[in-house]
Chain A
Amino acid sequence: MSEGTNTSSAQAATQAAGRPTFEVVWSSLAPFIGLALVVLIFVVYQWLVTPERPFLSQYRMTLIAKQTAIVGMGALGMTVIIISGGIDLSAGSLLAVTSVVLAVSLRAGIDPVVCVLLVLAVGMASGLINGLLITGLRLVPFIVTLGTMMAFRGVAEIVSDNKKVSYQDAPNWLSTLLNAPPEGSYQGVATGVWIVLALALLLAIMLRYTVFGRYVFAIGSSEATARLCGVNVPGMKLTVYTLGGLFMAVAGIFAFANLGSQGSPTEGVGLELSIIAAVVIGGGSLSGGRGSVLGSLLGALMMTTLESGCGYAGVSTAIQRVIVGLIIVGAVAVDQFVHAQRR
Chain B
Amino acid sequence: MAHTNDSPLLVMSGISKSFGATQALSNVDLELRAGEVHALIGENGAGKSTLMKILAGVHRADRGAMSVAGRKFAPDRPVAALRAGVAMIHQELNLAPDLTVEANVLLGQERIALGGFLQRRAHRDIASNALAPLGGGEIPLDVPVAQLSIARQQVVEIARALASEARVIVFDEPTSSLTEEDTAHLFQVIDQLRDRGLSIVYISHFLEEVAQVADTYTVLRDGCVVDHGRLPDTDLDHIVRQMVGRELDELFPKVPHEAGEPLLELDALCGDPMPEDVNLTVHRGEIFGLAGLVGAGRSELLRCIFGLDRTPSGTAHVSGRGRVAGGARSSIARGLGLVSEDRKSEGLAVELSIADNLTLSALGSYTRGGLLSLSARDQSVRQWLDRINIKAQRPAQAIGELSGGNQQKVAIARLLHQQADILLFDEPTRGIDIGTKAEIYRLIGQLAADGRAIVMVSSYLPELLNVCDRIGVMCRGRLREVRAAKAWTPEDIMHVATGREVAA
Q: A residues within 8 Å of B by Cβ? A: 1-6, 9-10, 12-13, 16-17, 20-21, 23, 206, 209-212, 214, 217-218, 220-222, 224-231, 289-290, 342-343
Contact = CB atoms under 8 A, between A and B. Distances in A.
B135 A229 contact: no
B108 A229 contact: yes
Contacts of A23: 147
B117 A226 contact: no
A9 B148 contact: yes
Q: Is chain A's interface secondary structure helix, strand, loop, or mixed overall? A: helix
Interface in B142-181: 142-143, 146-152, 160, 177-179, 181
Interface of B: 78-79, 82-83, 94-99, 103, 107-110, 112, 115-118, 120, 135, 138, 140, 142-143, 146-152, 160, 177-179, 181-182, 185, 293, 295, 476
Contacts of B178: 5
Nearest to A219: B96
A289 B97 contact: yes
Contact of A4 (B103, B120, B151): B151
A5 B152 contact: no
A89 B110 CA distance: 32
A210 B118 contact: yes
A3 B182 contact: yes
B98 A214 contact: no
A215 to B, nearest CB: 8
Contacts of A21: 143, 147
Given A1-B135, A5-B150, 17 more contacts: A1-B138, A1-B185, A2-B179, A3-B151, A4-B150, A5-B295, A9-B147, A16-B140, A209-B117, A211-B110, A218-B99, A221-B96, A228-B78, A228-B94, A229-B107, A229-B108, A289-B97
A206 B99 CA distance: 16
A268 to B, nearest CB: 31
A225 B96 contact: yes
B97 to A, nearest CB: 6
Contacts of A225: 94-96, 107
Contact of A5 (B82, B97, B112, B179): B179
A13 B98 contact: no
Nearest to B93: A225
Contact of B103 (A3, A9, A214): A214
A45 to B, nearest CB: 39
B71 to A, nearest CB: 19
Contacts of B120: 209
B146 A343 contact: yes
Contacts of A217: 96, 98-99, 103
A224 B98 contact: no
A217 B146 CA distance: 14
A108 B181 CA distance: 75
A224 B152 CA distance: 20
Given A9-B147, A214-B103, A229-B107, A17 B116 contact: no
A320 B146 CA distance: 38
A256 to B, nearest CB: 32
Given A13-B149, A211-B110, A5 B177 contact: yes
A6 B78 contact: no
Contacts of A231: 107-108
Contact of B149 (A2, A20, A211, A212): A2
B274 to A, nearest CB: 9
Contacts of B79: 227-230
Contacts of B295: 5-6
Contacts of B152: 1-2, 4, 13
Contacts of B142: 20
Contacts of A9: 147-150
Contacts of B107: 214, 218, 225-226, 229, 231
Contact of A211 (B96, B97, B118): B118
B98 A16 contact: no
Given A3-B181, A210-B117, A214-B103, A12 B147 contact: yes
Nearest to B57: A228
A295 to B, nearest CB: 14
Nearest to B95: A225
What 8 A-B pairs are tightest by C-beta distance, nearest first? A229-B108, A4-B149, A289-B98, A221-B96, A230-B79, A230-B108, A221-B98, A16-B143
